[in-house]
Structure 1
């Protein structure tokens, strides 16, 4: 009892601090993702990577918003509200679903760029515009299935359990069987949603990042070697090839940075999930429930940071993106100053 009280006291101190961090990050991340979407809309969707980056920003926007609302709910001590438990679970589930969607889109972006680097002559056949759009639409649709199944099954289990306490012995046995079956289905969906999808996404991003890094170093060595052996008669062609190679390398570096940030920021959530499966008491109703809640909020904050930082990456590493963003902001400032006058 003393340990439980101590963890509860610690959670009461940690939760408000993390909640304020989540709210602040959520507000800035929302603005950042909206700007990212507007800039890519201004740049146009002539390339597949622009479509994928826009989809990533849309997914990040939803993820950041729902984590922000969950942080606000925790800050206001929603446990005193009548439907607090269901509201809290719904917010966490939606934020989790959107973070899984973000991981799948990040994996697709990494795979898309990796195929373009490894098979430069076949990439236009392997990854076309319709394939990119179809893949992203499928990711957006499929990632809502697990959370819907979890809530449907959970409500069904609750109804069946309620019937168990108000039934005859025959109905008791039948309802108990269906309740167990539904609970097993729910556990299977949770494993798929909490372990399989994040793990496969993380491994895909990791493998593609390593491959892109190796190819990037090989490209740098090729440029250094050719710069020392270029003939004067072929100088113009060499400059054209070097410029094209440098532009492709910049795009690859951008994907690598986005992928590395994702890999690092997804580790706390992965550690939380792994511990939940390995340690029985590390759960919402276990002996370590307050530590579970504090770690979950911290992991959610790190996930939120991952969904908020891409604007900085795109601005720092993309000349066209930076120029377009600067132009949009300057136009907005001029319009505001003109309106005041």
Structure 2
């Protein structure tokens, strides 16, 4: 459609689109099965939007703080690069959530804006959020796999997981998750349309309803939406279980090692052999001091590794809880005909994904509190950057 000014656009011109195009709001109304009343439907959305908007604002603030602190800490380790990338992905997700919530306020149409809110919400908010959330999911999976590799092959991990390879992996994840959205957006046409229900010409979106676009829509959504999410969910779950088992074994080893070391020192101190020379005593004391230093160094290293593992476990467990409903929803999208925005179960589709959209930002909001409570360096740097007093 040619670029026509809003004031000079007539209803006939606005409706002059290809026969295969149909505005998304028309899909909302065609053949959809109603599961709840429209009044309950609107109330549900108003409550969820208020909750989601608050979570989105919190997520934007916390992820900006995360990015600042990680940049200040430096990107000397591959884990820092991964966590910074996760913060960037979470920031994009919460910004999109903030925008889509504004669009989906039921009273938005009364603001006299030249936008068809429900259609622009789907195209600029809902679809984009799906792809960006998959970016965060794959990054979380990478972090979990990296930490498992540190546990399995601690001597080889630095040679395998380098800073350059981690940067390459992060860029690749962003490309393979966000890139396919360009193909999906090719199925939609944003232009001015006349809407009889409001008797106005508004900027809206139409779905180009062809067989090729339908297949492309299903394939891209199945791969990027479902396959990526289920792969991330399954892999992260397995890694989390393995790391939890490792932590339990590590704790038992430290307790056993500490008891054995104490018994050895006690045996040496209780040695009352009168034939022991001064040189032998000095030699034993020297070995005892060296043994304590080695034990302390080993314990400190193990304790530091365990803290990192615990942080990763908490992050991955939060991811699993928040993305489980999304796995179920996308499985329904693929397996159940009509479970689409414009299908027979369109209202159920919107209800399910609204719940998912509420839960998913939680995963993007609370990482700051995890880093602060479990990361000493992160906590210290945060207090330095924002000039906060360290807690006693």
* 3-state SS, counterpart of residue 4 of structure 1: coil
Which aligned pairs between 1:100-119 and structure 2 lie closer than 5 A? 100-119=134-153
In the TM superposition, what whole-angstrom CA distance separates every residue of 1:204-243 from its partner, at most 9, and x where no partner exists? 1111111111111111111111111124411111011001
Rate the CA distance shift 1:286–1:181 in 2: closer, same or farther, 3 A. closer
1:40: how far off? 1.0
Correspondence 1:98-247 to 2 at 5 A: 98-154=132-188, 179-230=210-261, 231-232=264-265, 233=288, 234-247=291-304
User: Which residue in the other structure is 1:161 paired with?
Assistant: none
Relative to the length of structure 1, the TM-score reads: 0.85
Task: Give 2:364's aligned residue.
Answer: 307
Provide closer, same or farther for how the CA distance between residues 240 and 5 of structure 1 changes in structure 2, counting only shifts above 3 A.
closer
Structure 2 unmatched ranges of 5 or more: 1-30, 190-207, 266-287
**Equivalent in 105, 119, 123 of residue 75 of structure 1:** 105
Aligned residue number for residue 336 of structure 1: none
Name the SS of the counterpart of 1:214 in structure 2: helix
Higher strand share: 2
User: 2:131·2:178 contact (CA, 8 Å) conserved in 1?
Assistant: yes
Write the distance in 1 (CA, Å) between the matches of 2:96 and 2:326.
Answer: 16
Contact 1:154 1:186 in 2 (8 A): no
2:195 corresponds to: none
Give the one of 89, 93, 117 matched to 2:122: 89
Distance (whole Å) between structure 2 residues aligned to residue 291 and residue 115 of structure 1: 41
Alpha-carbon contact 1:7-1:291 (below 8 Å) kept: no
Compare the two structures and name the one with the higher helix fraction. 1
Superposed displacement of residue 87, structure 1: 1.4
Which of 330, 349, 374 is the aligned partner of 1:273?
330
Distance (Å, rounded) in 2 between the aligned partners of 1:21 and 1:264: 18
Alignment check: 8 A CA contact 1:79 1:85 kept: no
C-alpha change, 1:5 and 1:249, in structure 2 (3 Å) is: closer
Q: Structure 1: any 5+ residue segments left out of the alignment?
A: 156-175, 333-341
Q: RMSD of aligned C-alpha atoms?
A: 2.5
Distance 2:147 2:185 in 1: 36
Q: Contact 2:60 / 2:91 at 8 angstroms: preserved in 1?
A: yes
